Amino acid sequence: AQRVTQPEKLLSVFKGAPVELKCNYSYSGSPELFWYVQYSRQRLQLLLRHISRESIKGFTADLNKGETSFHLKKPFAQEEDSAMYYCALDSSYKLIFGSGTRLLVRP
Amino acid sequence: GAGVSQSPSNKVTEKGKDVELRCDPISGHTALYWYRQRLGQGLEFLIYFQGNSAPDKSGLPSDRFSAERTGESVSTLTIQRTQQEDSAVYLCASSSRVGGDQPQHFGDGTRLSIL
């Protein structure tokens, strides 16, 4: 079955600390993976996608097919990174979302 | 418009009533998606439309749920004989076309509460 798992509901770090939000997936085939973010009182929006191999707002995510993971990382967290983060898998054009991780960056 | 627009933003209704939720996609976007998000959970795919192709209804949870789209514009999601488990935020998204390389742009959602 196709599935996305985000094991942490809440991740709390201090400003300047490294951040890693975990995402594991189950998919038969070549996966297309995304990270979406929802800041307080804003809409859900795309943060980055693995096919672009880009860094957005200092975040990167590497697809590891061996470990079926797509963890989101940032070396130095900022307070404005506090938000809800969702990992998503494209499955025949529809997205399968994980349950999300709330990142709280403390001053 | 500037983005995906959904209405109403909030809807409270009694169990057993029918509800209709509306989504206006970004102009020119041929693909439109509906998702449901229950409290504390991730988004759950319901249905998508792509141009004039038959919609993918594989995520609709029961025959009480239906959706229509007029051409490449407005879509309505209808829930008949609502149940308490239908309480959720219903999100609409659009993209320029279906495909993993096309980001989905989300609306603010409709928060549905069934009493």
Residue of B nearest to A5 (CA): B42
pLDDT (0 to 100) of residue B72: 80
Which residues in B61-83 are b (16+ Cβ under 10 Å) and which e?
A: eeeebebebeebeebebebeebe
Mean pLDDT across A23-32? 90
pLDDT-derived band of residue A28, with 50, 70 and 90 as boundaries?
confident
Chain pair A-B, CB pairs under 8 angstroms: 55
Instruction: State whether A93 and B43 contact (CB < 8 Å).
Output: no
Q: Which residues pair with A21 in a beta bridge?
A: A72
B1, pLDDT greater than 80: no
How far does A94 lie from chain B, in Å, by closest CA? 7
Tell me the pLDDT of chain B averaged across its residues: 92
The DSSP secondary structure of B24-75, one letter per residue, reads EPPTT--EEEEEEE-TTS-EEEEEEEETTSPPB-TT--STTEEEEE-TTS-E
A82, pLDDT greater than 80: yes
pLDDT (0 to 100) of residue B100: 66
Q: What does the longest C-alpha to C-alpha distance in chain A come to? A: 42
pLDDT (0 to 100) of residue A55: 83
Q: What is the pLDDT of residues A13-27, one digit of tens each?
A: 999 999 999 999 999
pLDDT (0 to 100) of residue B92: 97
Instruction: State whether B48 and A93 contact (CB < 8 Å).
Output: yes
Nearest-angstrom CA–CA distance, B94 and B48? 9
Q: What is the pLDDT of residues B71-106, one digit of tens each?
A: 888 999 999 999 999 999 999 999 987 776 778 999
How far does B14 lie from chain A, in Å, by closest CA? 27
Nearest-angstrom CA–CA distance, B112 and B115? 10
Sign of the alpha-carbon dihedral angle for B28, A92, A95, A56 = negative
Do B11 and B78 contact (CB within 8 A), yes or no?
Answer: no
B52, pLDDT greater than 90: no
pLDDT (0 to 100) of residue B97: 74
Do A14 and A101 contact (CB within 8 A), yes or no?
Answer: no
pLDDT-derived band of residue B34, with 50, 70 and 90 as boundaries?
very high
Disruptive mutation site among A43, A49, A89 for chain B (greatest number of B CBs within 10 Å): A43
B43, pLDDT greater than 80: yes
Mean pLDDT across B4-16? 96
| Percent of all residues in chain A with a pLDDT value above 90, rounded to a whole number | 77
Mean pLDDT across A64-93? 94
